[in-house]
Amino acid sequence: MSIALFRIDDRLIHGQVVVGWGQPLDCTFIVLVDDEVRESDWEQDLYRMGVPPHIEIIFASVSEAAERLPGWEGDPRVGILLVPDIDTAAALVGKSDRVKRLNVGGIHHRAGRTERLRFVYLTDDERAKLKQLAAGGVDVTAQDVPTARAVPLTEFA
Amino acid sequence: MSEPLRGVIVSHAAIAQALVSAVTVITGIDGALVPISNEGCDNDALADRLRQAVGERPAVLFVDLPGGSCLTNSIRYAKQHADIAVVTGVNLAMLLDFVFHRDVPPAEAARRAVDAGAKAIRVTAA
């Protein structure tokens, strides 16, 4: 089944991802795409602590992820790919035509952002970037946990 | 130590607040514990909440799960500040013990809390 979920989540690896999505999907590997985390052994150790031993974590830069995506898609295991923000998602889409859908799972409040959904806050620029991704053929929806409805982009951006 | 340790409970949803309320009801001790929820927080916002709750004092951070944003941000905070210990799997029993034993260094208080919390987990006879 390869990568079952391409998710934008500013908390990266946390309970909703590992338990909420990981259990029903029977996920056994998580790809964390973040250029900064990729360069920090200590940050990687931190994220490994939050994952049960049967789940492998792969840390990748955007460029590495674009290069290795075909391999992960051919993996017989089920995986989740995480990016921390819309810019990283857009960068990955720019380098790989294999990202066909994006789950906006958690973008929280900070200055300049307004609430679009309970778990999605966006600046005008971020809304425009999501619309641009959708215009390029990526199916963008927002859904924090599997039991919730996948909200179409037109309803939150 | 000049001032008793502070305990900061870092949790999902309203667990932390509920634990603080329960400790106060049971012991009558108020102000020893500070609740933090990760509700609505990205990592930066949760780090801010930790900074505000802990300040520059020694503290023990009691985290609900041994993984996730509450833990990663607590460990990140402990790495950047002296005299901070982190305990995972917070439960009411460990907090009840902690609030009566806060005149020790954070690492010692953390070990003691873990012992007390672990002893409270058992299968009882019907």
Domain presence at residue A33? yes
Residue B59 has pLDDT above 70, yes or no: yes
Confidence of residue B3 (pLDDT cuts 50, 70, 90): confident
Cβ-based burial of A77 (10 A; exposed 0-12, middle 13-18, buried ≥19) = middle
Choose the closest CB to A46 out of B12, B41, B76. B76
pTM summary value: 0.86
Overall fold of domain B6-102:
Rossmann fold (3.40.50)
Predicted pLDDT at A50: 79
Q: Closest to A14 (Cβ–Cβ): which among B40, B44, B69?
A: B69
A105 near B CB under 8 A: no
Inside any domain, residue A81: yes
**A140 three-class SS:** strand
Do B67 and A50 make contact, defined as CB atoms within 8 angstroms? yes
Complete DSSP assignment for chain B: --S--EEEEEESTTHHHHHHHHHHHHH---SSEEEEE-TT--HHHHHHHHHHHHTTS-EEEEESSSSSHHHHHHHHHHHHSSSEEEEES--HHHHHHHTT--SS-HHHHHHHHHHHHHHT--PPP-
Pick the residue from chain B with its C-alpha nearest to A110. Answer: B45
> What residues of chain B lie within 8 A of the CB of A144, using their CB?
none
Q: For residue B38, which residues of chain A lie inside 8 Å, CB to CB?
A: 11
- Count structural domains, chain A: 1
Per-residue pLDDT of A141-154, as tens digits, reads: 999 999 999 999 99
Task: Give the domain CATH number at A40.
Answer: 3.40.35.10
Domain that holds residue A28: 2-148
CB proximity under 8 Å: A 47-86 to B: 47, 49-51
CB A77 within 8 A of CB A40: no
* Mean pLDDT, residues B51-56: 92
A47: distance to nearest CA of chain B, Å?
7
- Average pLDDT score, chain B: 94
Is A153 contained in some domain? Answer: no
By the CB < 8 Å criterion, does A107 face chain B? yes
Question: Which residues of chain A are within 8 Å of residue B43 when distances are taken between CB atoms?
Answer: 10-11
As for the ipTM of the complex, it is 0.76
**pLDDT given at position A49:** 85
Q: How far apart are CA B39 and CA A30, in angstroms?
A: 23
In a domain, A154, yes or no: no
| Minimal CA separation from A17 to chain B, in Å | 9
Residue B42 pLDDT more than 70?
yes
Tokens of B67: 């993984």
Looking at beta carbons, which residues of chain A come within 8 Å of B42? Answer: 10-11, 106-110
Contact A1, A27 (CB under 8 A): no
Residue B2: per-residue pLDDT: 67
Is B68 close to A107, i.e. CB distance below 8 A? no
Q: Are A6 and A103 in contact (CB under 8 A)?
A: yes
Chain B contact for A15 (CB, 8 A cutoff): yes
**pLDDT digits 0-9 by tens, B64-114:** 998 889 999 999 999 999 899 999 999 999 999 999 999 999 999 999 999
Residue A1 has pLDDT above 80, yes or no: no
A50 vs B66: CB contact, 8 Å cut-off? yes
CA distance A65 to A17: 19
